[in-house]
Amino acid sequence: MSNLGPRRLRRDGIRELVRSVSIAPADLIAPVFVDATIDAPAPIASMPGQQRLPVDAVPAEVGRLSDLGIGGVLLFGIPSSKDANGSRADASDGVIQEALGAVGSTPMVMMTDVCLCEYTDHGHCGVLADDDAPHTMTVDNDQTLTRLASIAISHADAGADVVAPSAMADGMVGAIRRGLDGAGHAPVSILSYAVKFHSSFYGPFRDAADGAPRFGDRRQYQMDPQTPSSIDREVRLDIEEGADMLIVKPAMAYLDVVAQVASTVDVPVAAYNVSGEYAMLQAAAERGWVDATAAALETVIGMRRAGASMIITYHAETIAAALG
């Protein structure tokens, strides 16, 4: 009797037949940066291969990604101006609202990030509390909820299919769900950044979206990577408040969390393959140390293996093209 054992199942043809984890372009969500201050695409230095787009370039980009079979796009906006309350975030002529209007009817699932960090002059994810101390970074949770609900409604008014609140404000999902329902947008889904850690992997994104805090950091409202006991509570509260889908962010260093959340909830879970993870792989590929496409594909397969239903990734176009 031969001693090959499981190796017999690794032969070409058979290995494809017995696979239990698959990945398809429809499983991917591509982030798209829309910049109200430019009139031509602008490369993002810290994220090779990515760019900011002017509003009028978004329809073509969405069409191209749709043709590749990618499941959805997640829009991030860089506004024409900023202030303490992020007033441009829910303006009817804001950058995301204009982009959604320009795209119009499309088979692509249009998702929008709902936060204030790109729109405030201080760069934090909510409205700051009044304080006599200079450069305070205490976020006023209740004021922030009001702003987030207004932003989500404005995105839905403009045509968003899914809104994705990322501010990590307590009660944000409930406030947005009530706002959407009250405004006649009950069909609009909420994809909540339920598990968003305070991470060093966000640097390139903050460059891309011009959303770095001008002082302090976000550890007061983003989750502590060394306190996993808070994960179940964050997830449970968001689902109770009406979240239709959840995000775990980042992904690569948190695959245990992706697996934990995916195994304990009855809603779809997205893994966010964030900017720093993307930039590291691209830097290695530029030096010839890894094959960029093969490494990107292996990365997202790992996220699927951990239990992610979908993956938000800057590699979406590369992977979709490779899958053909």
- pLDDT at position 132, please? 44
Q: Residue 7: what pLDDT?
A: 82
The span from the CA of 221 to the CA of 126, in Å, is: 10
d(CA 89, CA 118) in angstroms, rounded, equals 8
Domains of the chain from N-terminus onward: 20-323 (3.20.20.70)
Instruction: Label the pairing between strands 72-78 and 269-273.
Output: unpaired
Quote the pLDDT of residue 214.
61
pLDDT tens-digit map of 110-154: 999 999 888 987 777 677 876 544 455 677 888 899 999 999 999
Q: Which residue has the tokens 């720093």?
A: 276
pLDDT tens-digit series, residues 66-100:
999 999 999 999 999 988 888 899 999 999 999 99
Catalytic-role residue among 88, 196, 218, 315:
196
The single residue of 122, 249, 304, 315 carrying the catalytic annotation is 249
Report DSSP letters for 229-274, one per residue. Answer: GGHHHHHHHHHHHT-SEEEEES-GGGHHHHHHHHHH-SS-EEEEE-
Of 55-64, 127-136, 168-177, 255-264, which range is least confident? Answer: 127-136
Q: What is the DSSP string of 189-210?
A: EEEEEEEEB--GGGHHHHHHTT
Angle between helical axes of 95-103 and 58-67 (0-180°, round to 10)? 60
| pTM for the structure as a whole | 0.92
User: Each residue of 196-249: pLDDT tens digit?
Assistant: 898 888 878 777 656 556 655 555 767 788 988 899 999 999 999 999 999 999
Does the active-site annotation cover 82?
Answer: no
112 by DSSP, 3-state: which? strand
Whether residue 196 lies in the annotated active site: yes
Q: Which pLDDT belongs to residue 211?
A: 58
Sequence-distant (6+) residues with CB within 8 A of 230 are: 223, 224
Q: How far apart are CA 200 and CA 186, in angstroms?
A: 36
256-311: per-residue pLDDT in tens? 999 999 999 999 999 999 999 999 999 999 999 999 999 999 999 999 999 999 99
Confidence category of residue 20, pLDDT binned at 50, 70, 90: confident
